[in-house]
Amino acid sequence: MKHGKKYTDAAKLVERNKQYEVAEALDLAVKTGTAKFDETIEVHVKLGVDGRHADQMVRGAIVLPNGTGKDVKVLAICKDEKIEDAKAAGADFVGGMDMIQKIQTENWLDFDVLITTPDMMGQVGRLGRVLGPRGLMPNPKAGTVSPDIARAIQEAKAGKIEYRLDRSNIIHCVIGKKSFGVEKLQENFDVLLDAIVKAKPAAAKGQYVRSCAVSSTMGPGIKIVASRFV
């Protein structure tokens, strides 16, 4: 794979086989984010589990102390008595069956997070084929199915993220923007990794965190010392 000159120059700052301490790795991620826009900083964590087995799935949600730097569009689907609460909490779109029908008939997906209440999940569940592949299906473990819809919306707006294994048993998460600087990025990183470590399944055997790396949107991957996470 051929890379552009900016990427090539940025990659020269990173020792390919070296594992860095967190602060140094994040500093390099910021320095190698040379695009003209404010690049996103991402974390990629390979775990020693097999997510195909239910007792080894790792999934959860946390609110990053410094947010993600992204303006999150929230759709709230609830019954009439919760609509004003959802609007007051800052939801960008609010409705009930009308919103479900809009998604079904128009394939409308102009939102980043869908939050609903338990009493609406029966209807929202019909959207599984549309929402599931895009990672938009509400789930209690992610905090997007909640009787307290106002709080769930506020948390999503404040920088709540979901972490979950992909098919390769890797967790991919955003921890902020390049402009945050190393200190704020490390605060977000530490909260995320602490949550992932605490979510270790009882069925997991051997080394839990196999590898960890950070990168900017357009920059090279930077490895972090995996043995520090126990």
If we measure between CA atoms, which residue out of 217, 222, 228, 226 comes closest to residue 6?
A: 217
DSSP for 33-59, written as a single string:
--SSS-PEEEEEEEESS-TTSGGG--E
Q: Which helix (H) or strand (E) holds 61?
A: strand 59-63
User: Which pLDDT value is given to residue 2?
Assistant: 60
Task: Give the confidence band of 230 by pLDDT, cuts at 50, 70, 90.
Answer: low
d(CA 29, CA 15): 13
> For residue range 148-188, what is the model confidence (pLDDT) as tens digits?
999 999 999 998 999 999 999 999 999 999 999 999 999 99
Radius of gyration of the chain (CA): 19
User: Which pLDDT value is given to residue 201?
Assistant: 94
User: How many of the other CB atoms lie within 10 Å of CB of 122?
Assistant: 8
User: Which pLDDT value is given to residue 33?
Assistant: 87
DSSP for 126-160, written as a single string:
GGHHHHGGGT----GGGT-B-S-HHHHHHHHHHTE
Q: 22 or 2: whose pLDDT is higher? A: 22
Average pLDDT across the chain, whole number? 92
> For residue range 12-27, what is the model confidence (pLDDT) as tens digits?
888 888 999 999 999 9
